[in-house]
A = this chain, B = another copy of it.
Amino acid sequence: MPVSPAPVSPVPVSPVDASPLGWLAETGAEWTADPQILGEKRLDRSGWEPDGRPLAVVFPRTVEQVQGVLRGASVTRTPVVARGAGTALTGGSAAGAGTVVLDLSRMDRIVEIRAADGVAVAEPGVITADLDRAAAEHGLRYAPDPASLEISTIGGNIATNAGGLRCAKYGVTRDSVLGLDVVLADGTLINTGRATLKGVAGYDLTGLFVGSEGTLGVVVGATLRLRTLPAATATIAAAYPDVAAAAAASVALAEARIQPVLAELLDAATLAALADFGMPQSGGALLIVQLDGGADEAARALDVLKRGATSVRSDGDPASLLAARRQALPAIERLGRPLIEDIAVPRSVLAEAVRSIADIARRHDVPICTLAHAGDGNLHPIIVAGSYGSPIPVAAHRAADEIFGLALALGGTVTGEHGVGVLKRTWLAQELGEAQHDLQRQIKAVFDPLGILNPGKAI
């Protein structure tokens, strides 16, 4: 991947010294040990606090600089925590004592968009929404759209195999990654996958790197699939007496052979938070659906969604119809500190999962508002865990544990799209079982024999 000269950096750069980090200077990358920046870059958005602070934060602009950092880290056995925008909700990009943070946010060029091939090539620091906007100029879209898409990066999305709303129809990040440029732990650069839409040469290392949370290598470039931008999109917001009715409406769409682009469900607790926030809601549950299959499909969807609904809106602009979903988190954040959980269940038991979560909230006396990507059974129970700055109540942790147990009991998974990080490692072991967990550790050892890549995360 060609790389242009680095422009001047706005971040304070510490003087080069001959400390244990002297090797960083040899990489040619900008870096800093400024305490304030170390303090910022040790955290992600999970609320999890690692022990201590990283040794330094390095801001590479070229593949060669990343290779230099990994080579130096290998020689000095220094743990490296790669990071995009730091929006992880799992502690996956948190960095504690003794680590070097590899901040890839300045490798932020969209290298090319090959519209006729349906392919884009991007550096890891590109903001996801920027790529989607650039694709739209060619009548294309980058489909994965995590809620963080305006602030999170392609590299971070790849590290966590980020999902989003549109993946009900267009798949998760892994489904849009064709090939990767990856710097291995020893500084070697490899190019996995391909630049074509199809290809089966060798084991799928591309898919293995996607979702590996920086523990197998550092992604420095990505060849991404772009999809056809639909000619038109229709949005429908339907209110129902309860979650069961809303979930049933979502299933009825599938039975009517309609595949929505997104299907977002908000439960009663979320609607109450929105009402307090100045967005009055009707009904006990809201389902917001978007479709891109033409006017006929939209009309059929409207017919299906009307059944059992207390009110249905399909006029108005999509932004207004989606506003309740968009404002849900800000509304919940006003109630207290949110712990955003992330489970997935078979979509037929979605309503049962939402009801059980409401039970868990009552039993532990902890407010929980649940948002769900109904189309794929991915739920985000948001636990309101006391006030900001105070310790997280024990009841909140207990409720979270019960939610993870519920996911497994319903045949689901403890993480639908956020990843494992540090917060879910014990649950991961339970979900995988010992034999598979052991295989995963052996794979980790193949890629990272010295254990310097984001140690203590993901597996």
Chain A contact residues, CB within 8 Å of chain B: 114-119, 139, 160-161, 163, 167, 171-172, 174-175, 184, 188-192, 194-205, 207-208, 210-212, 216, 227-231, 251, 254-255, 257-259, 293-297, 300, 344-348, 373, 375-378, 411-420, 424, 428, 431-433, 435-437, 439-440, 442-444, 446-447, 458-459
Residue in contact with A198 in the complex, picked from B229, B259, B295, B416, CB distance below 8 Å: B416
- CB-CB under 8 A for A116 and B198, given A208-B203, A433-B191: no
Q: Which residues of B contact A428 (CB under 8 A)?
A: 201-202
B416 contacts A259, C-beta separation under 8 Å: no
Q: Which residues of B contact A254 (CB under 8 A)?
A: 115-116, 118, 139, 228
A346 contacts B443, C-beta separation under 8 Å: no
- CB-CB under 8 A for A116 and B202, given A412-B196, A436-B191: no
B346 contacts A114, C-beta separation under 8 Å: yes
B204 contacts A174, C-beta separation under 8 Å: yes
| 20 A-B residue pairings within 8 Å (CB atoms) | A118-B254, A118-B347, A174-B207, A189-B435, A194-B413, A196-B344, A196-B376, A197-B375, A197-B376, A197-B377, A198-B413, A199-B416, A200-B420, A201-B414, A201-B420, A202-B436, A202-B459, A204-B207, A227-B259, A229-B257
Give A457 Cβ to nearest chain B Cβ, in Å: 12
A411 contacts B171, C-beta separation under 8 Å: no
Q: Which residues of B contact A416 (CB under 8 A)?
A: 196, 198-200
B376 contacts A190, C-beta separation under 8 Å: no
Closest 7 CB pairs of A and B: A207-B207, A116-B348, A197-B376, A199-B413, A294-B294, A196-B344, A117-B346
Give A168 Cβ to nearest chain B Cβ, in Å: 8
> With A and B bound together, what is the CA distance between A17 and B416 in angstroms?
51
Residue in contact with A348 in the complex, picked from B117, B200, B212, CB distance below 8 Å: B117
Give A195 Cβ to nearest chain B Cβ, in Å: 5
Q: Which residues of B contact A114 (CB under 8 A)?
A: 346, 348
Q: Which residues of B contact A229 (CB under 8 A)?
A: 257
Q: Which residues of B contact A419 (CB under 8 A)?
A: 200
B440 contacts A203, C-beta separation under 8 Å: yes
Give A111 Cβ to nearest chain B Cβ, in Å: 14
Q: Which residues of B contact A195 (CB under 8 A)?
A: 346, 411-412
- CB-CB under 8 A for A431 and B167, given A228-B257, A257-B231, A376-B196: no
Q: Which residues of B contact A417 (CB under 8 A)?
A: 198, 200
Starting from the known contacts A190-B439, A201-B414, A201-B428, 11 additional A-B residue pairs (CB-CB under 8 Å) come to A115-B254, A117-B346, A118-B254, A161-B204, A171-B175, A174-B204, A196-B345, A199-B412, A200-B417, A202-B437, A228-B257
> With A and B bound together, what is the CA distance between A298 and B95 in angstroms?
53
A439 contacts B117, C-beta separation under 8 Å: no
Minimum CB distance partner of A188 in chain B: B435
Give A405 Cβ to nearest chain B Cβ, in Å: 14
Minimum CB distance partner of A247 in chain B: B116
Q: Which residues of B contact A378 (CB under 8 A)?
A: 196-198
B442 contacts A446, C-beta separation under 8 Å: yes
Minimum CB distance partner of A197 in chain B: B376
- CB-CB under 8 A for A198 and B377, given A171-B171, A204-B211, A228-B258: yes
Q: Which residues of B contact A432 (CB under 8 A)?
A: 201-202
| Residue among A413, A416, A458 with most chain B CB within 10 A | A413
Give A452 Cβ to nearest chain B Cβ, in Å: 17
Q: Which residues of B contact A192 (CB under 8 A)?
A: 436
Q: Which residues of B contact A294 (CB under 8 A)?
A: 293-297
Give A46 Cβ to nearest chain B Cβ, in Å: 15
Minimum CB distance partner of A449 in chain B: B442
